């Protein structure tokens, strides 16, 4: 164990870090060195850019990058870039896009773009004294970030409001300064956090000089300052609709299908266990586009799932109804995204994704990402209430199984043909590959 302890690791070269890792943890894995080297970019300048994204970078971790075409959104046709490893996600999104392409496409509306952050502080004194102090100090707090807001204000953004909120019912002595921001095309995390820290510093400085606080020996004390990834005021809605007869096929009665679809969504509203998996499917589409565009999918995930539980119980993010034989399906969710700053231009593929999406502004990207989630959910629920989720998923997953078995091109071709109308499982595919190899000419 003592040999594995190391100081100054971040200051070592990439070669030294890799050699240490191999010696301490991977000495019995002969292919480890070549594997780490293989996934580094051959262009040194491009690799250096990747290395600069994080500390202690050794190599790159690849995810498949694809596009899902035929997304008609508010009259504009898009191909959605998606980065994801899960089988069937891109295929499902593409199928949903194709279905709605000839039925009016997706309609999307941005309902708000406001973001927020808090300065959390302790105060155990007189509430009226604190309220009076905040009223007096508020203009000074706002003025203290004028130098930080200059560029953001030039783009039409900046601080919108600042309030002092009493949270003592939830935690003794707990208050917060709640700041609301508009950040336009930037996600705005660095801007918001810089503003919060400056306001916190000014707040503490003025509080330490305030006579009533000094006299009572109860001076407010800042605990921390940080933006919130819960942004219910930065919200988007997207929807589709069609007559129930649009679902008619030789195998399906459209009205029955629509009723079953609506019932499936209602179940996801009623049961949290179903809602979690239901919403995970939505996030398959959302995360894939968010990641491909260089945005923060962890922040999006956290905020979206908090929104799903806003009524005190975790529920479906999507809704479905039938009215006058018209099927309606929609989603409303918070999405704080950016099209400038961060990795959106630094990462070559994120930059390419923005070009594929025709250089959208933040509001347009919000609409596109929400549509990806709705399309993914439509495809998933459609499968669940008809053929079942595994038929389509396993047809895509069979390629992963064949890769694990090191199948040759001819073995892959034969296996795909064999399982075209059969139930797919890992064991069944393994047995079939073994049978091919046992009967192959020596």
Give per-residue pLDDT as tens, 270-317. 999 999 999 999 999 999 999 999 999 999 999 999 999 999 999 999
Q: Which of 296, 305, 363, 397 is catalytic?
A: 296
CA angle 279, 283, 287 (to 5 degrees): 170
Q: Are residues 352 and 423 in the same domain?
A: no
Q: Are residues 217 and 260 in the same domain?
A: no
Where is average pLDDT lowest: 18-27, 218-227, 358-367, 410-419?
A: 410-419
Domain boundary among 177, 207, 227: 227
Q: Which residues pair with 310 in a beta bridge?
A: none
User: Which band of pLDDT confidence, cut at 50, 70 and 90, is reported for residue 198?
Assistant: very high
Confidence at residue 41, expressed as pLDDT on a 0 to 100 scale: 92
Q: Which helix (H) or strand (E) holds 261?
A: helix 254-270
Q: Are residues 13 and 141 in the same domain?
A: no
| C-alpha span between 370 and 331 (Å, rounded) | 8
| C-alpha span between 400 and 394 (Å, rounded) | 10
- Angle, helices 348-356 vs 272-292, to 10°: value is 100
Within 10 angstroms of residue 96's Cβ, the number of other Cβ atoms is 26
| C-alpha span between 379 and 94 (Å, rounded) | 9
**Is 271 an active-site residue?**
no
The CATH number covering residue 129 comes to 3.30.70.420
At residue 407, the 3 state secondary structure works out as: coil
Confidence at residue 343, expressed as pLDDT on a 0 to 100 scale: 82
Domain boundary among 361, 386, 411: 386
Domain count, the chain: 4
Confidence at residue 439, expressed as pLDDT on a 0 to 100 scale: 77
Q: Are residues 334 and 262 in the same domain?
A: yes
The CATH number covering residue 279 comes to 3.90.770.10
Quick check: 188 and 181 in contact, CB under 8 A?
A: yes
pLDDT tens per residue, range 103-144: 999 999 999 999 999 999 999 999 999 999 999 999 999 999
What average pLDDT does this structure show over 188-197?
A: 97
Q: Which residues pair with 116 in a beta bridge?
A: 180
Confidence at residue 8, expressed as pLDDT on a 0 to 100 scale: 94
Q: Are residues 324 and 291 in the same domain?
A: yes
Confidence at residue 141, expressed as pLDDT on a 0 to 100 scale: 98
| Residue 336, both tokens | 């704080």
Q: Which residues of 177-214 are buried (b: 16+ CB within 10 A; e: fewer)?
A: bbbebbbbbbbbbebbeebbbbbbebbbebbeebeebe
What is the 3-state composition of the chain as percent helix, strand, coil, each rounded to the nearest 5?
Answer: 50, 20, 30
Average pLDDT, the chain: 93
Measured in whole angstroms, how far is the alpha carbon of residue 361 from the centre of its chain?
A: 17
User: Which band of pLDDT confidence, cut at 50, 70 and 90, is reported for residue 430?
Assistant: confident
Q: Are residues 104 and 249 in the same domain?
A: yes
| C-alpha span between 293 and 60 (Å, rounded) | 17
Q: Are residues 139 and 208 in the same domain?
A: yes
Q: Which of 115, 184, 278, 393 is catalytic?
A: 393
User: Which band of pLDDT confidence, cut at 50, 70 and 90, is reported for residue 420?
Assistant: confident
Counting every residue written for the chain, the total comes to: 442
What average pLDDT does this structure show over 225-251?
A: 96
91 pLDDT above the threshold of 80: yes
Within 10 angstroms of residue 44's Cβ, the number of other Cβ atoms is 10
206 pLDDT above the threshold of 90: yes
Closest CA to 246 of 325, 320, 330, 329: 325
399 pLDDT above the threshold of 80: no
User: Which band of pLDDT confidence, cut at 50, 70 and 90, is reported for residue 426?
Assistant: confident
Residue 58 belongs to some domain of the structure: no
| C-alpha span between 374 and 240 (Å, rounded) | 9
pLDDT tens per residue, range 344-379: 878 999 999 999 999 999 999 999 999 999 999 999
Ramachandran bin of 324, using left for φ above 0, alpha for ψ from -120 to 50, beta for the remaining angles: left
Residues contacting 352, CB < 8 A, separation 6+ = 81
Q: Which of 280, 328, 412, 426 is catalytic?
A: 280
Residue 430 belongs to some domain of the structure: yes
Where is average pLDDT lowest: 28-32, 224-228, 409-413?
A: 409-413
Residue with tokens 């709705």, as numbered in its chain: 374
Residue 44: domain span: 2-53
Q: Are residues 161 and 239 in the same domain?
A: no
At residue 79, the 3 state secondary structure works out as: strand
Residue 131 belongs to some domain of the structure: yes
Q: Are residues 266 and 370 in the same domain?
A: yes
**Is 86 an active-site residue?**
yes
**Is 296 an active-site residue?**
yes
Confidence at residue 220, expressed as pLDDT on a 0 to 100 scale: 98
Residue 59 belongs to some domain of the structure: no
Q: Which of 12, 41, 86, 332 is catalytic?
A: 86
**Is 43 an active-site residue?**
no
442 pLDDT above the threshold of 80: no
What average pLDDT does this structure show over 394-409?
A: 77
| C-alpha span between 419 and 388 (Å, rounded) | 17
Which of residues 390 and 199 earns the better pLDDT score? 199
């Amino acid at each position: 164990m003592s040999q594995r302890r190391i100081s100054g690791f971040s200051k070592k070269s990439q070669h030294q870090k890799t050699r240490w890792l191999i010696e301490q943890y991977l000495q019995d894995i002969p292919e480890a060195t070549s594997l780490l080297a293989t996934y580094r970019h051959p262009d040194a300048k491009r690799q250096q850019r990747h290395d600069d994204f994080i500390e202690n970078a050794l190599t790159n971790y690849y995810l498949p990058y694809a596009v899902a075409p035929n997304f008609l959104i508010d009259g504009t046709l898009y191909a959605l870039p998606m980065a994801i490893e899960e089988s069937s996600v891109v295929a499902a999104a593409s199928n949903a896009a194709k279905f709605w392409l000839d039925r009016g496409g997706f309609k999307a509306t941005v309902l708000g773009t406001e973001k927020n952050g808090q300065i959390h502080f302790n105060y155990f004194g007189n509430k009226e004294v604190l309220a009076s102090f905040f009223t007096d100090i508020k203009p000074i707090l706002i003025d203290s970030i004028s130098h930080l807001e200059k560029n953001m204000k030039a783009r039409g953004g900046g601080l919108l409001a600042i309030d002092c909120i009493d949270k003592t019912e939830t935690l003794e002595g707990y208050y917060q300064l709640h700041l609301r921001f508009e950040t336009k095309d930037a996600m705005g995390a660095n801007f918001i956090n810089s503003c919060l820290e400056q306001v916190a510093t000014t707040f503490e400085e003025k509080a330490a000089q305030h006579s009533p606080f000094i006299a009572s020996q109860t001076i407010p004390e800042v605990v921390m300052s940080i933006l919130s990834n819960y942004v219910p005021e930065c919200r988007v809605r997207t929807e589709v609709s069609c007559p129930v007869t649009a679902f008619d096929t030789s195998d399906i009665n459209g009205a029955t299908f629509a009723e079953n679809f609506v019932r499936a969504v209602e179940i996801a509203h009623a049961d949290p266990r179903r809602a979690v998996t239901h919403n995970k499917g939505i996030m398959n589409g959302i995360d894939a586009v968010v990641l491909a565009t260089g945005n923060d999918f962890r922040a999006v995930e956290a905020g979206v799932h908090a929104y799903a539980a806003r009524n005190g119980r975790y529920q479906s993010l999507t809704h479905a109804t039938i009215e006058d034989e018209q099927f309606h399906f929609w989603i409303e969710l918070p999405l704080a995204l950016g099209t400038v700053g961060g990795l959106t231009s630094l990462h070559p593929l994120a930059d390419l994704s923005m070009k594929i999406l025709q250089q959208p502004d933040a509001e347009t990207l919000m609409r596109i990402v929400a549509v990806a989630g709705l399309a993914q959910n439509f495809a998933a629920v459609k499968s669940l209430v008809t053929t079942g989720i595994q038929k389509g998923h396993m047809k895509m997953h069979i390629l992963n199984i064949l890769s694990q078995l090191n199948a040759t091109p001819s073995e892959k071709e034969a296996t795909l043909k064999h399982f075209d109308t059969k139930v797919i499982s890992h064991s069944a595919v393994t047995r079939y590959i073994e049978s091919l190899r046992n009967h192959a000419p020596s």
